[in-house]
Structure 1
Amino acid sequence: MTFAVGDVVAERTVHLTRESLVRYAGASGDFNPIHYRDDVAAQVGLPGVLAHGMLTMGIASSVVVAALGDVARIVDYGVRFTKPVVVDPVAGADVTVVATVGAIADDVARIDLKVTHGETTVLAKAQLRVAL
């Protein structure tokens, strides 16, 4: 696998629904009601039901893993959560991930992830390091 700085290695939009959130809650064990109940989200001052942060983070990394396949060896992954993904009860929410090679050093590529919901960046400093 060869990369050059600036290469886009993957791009995908994932559609989330309230059902997606319930399924993730079951898989992760995170049953915080802000992820599935509008009334609770409103009581704590949120704009609506939110996708789990770790779900958003997982979606972002999965885009790279799917693109690189069996050759992907992630050695490090980090993000900073900046804005929530509000999942509308009818329309759901789209999360878009663009993965670009940001740097290459010592047989490791740094993949920079741009993760957005609409025009809003939801993960900042989202970077994977992949062994080449």
Structure 2
Amino acid sequence: MTDVELDRDDCTVLSGTLDDPYTGDTIAFTRGRDTSDDVQIDHVVALADAWRAGADRLTDDERLVLANDEHNLVAVDGPTNNRKADRTAERWLPPAAAPTRPPRSRSRPTTSSRSPAPSTTLSPPR
């Protein structure tokens, strides 16, 4: 976030501007009863996913470190984070990262001007 205004505790964000990595949108955030859900802190690797992958075998101290790992926490658009829930990257990608199709050509050649692909012969290793 940029232009961040913190509360006296130097921890609670009162306002700021988020360039959301999930949607690509810019969110002007102001803390309040009706707006605090607009920006959420997401665990990029969901804790439930980590648990399924073996975090259940961690000690309490290791779980605390995992849950607060700054490399796994990111401020994001709240509604988009809610749609992500605890899905893995295999099951959910942010809208801004979703693959797009290349633009289609509007005109198609009537005859092919391509040469046939050269044939390739594989030799056994020596």
Q: TM-score, normalised by structure 1?
A: 0.28
Q: Which is higher, the Rg of structure 1 or of structure 2?
A: 2
More strand by share: 1
Tell me which of the two structures has the higher relative contact order, counting C-alpha pairs closer than 8 angstroms and 6 or more residues apart.
Answer: 1
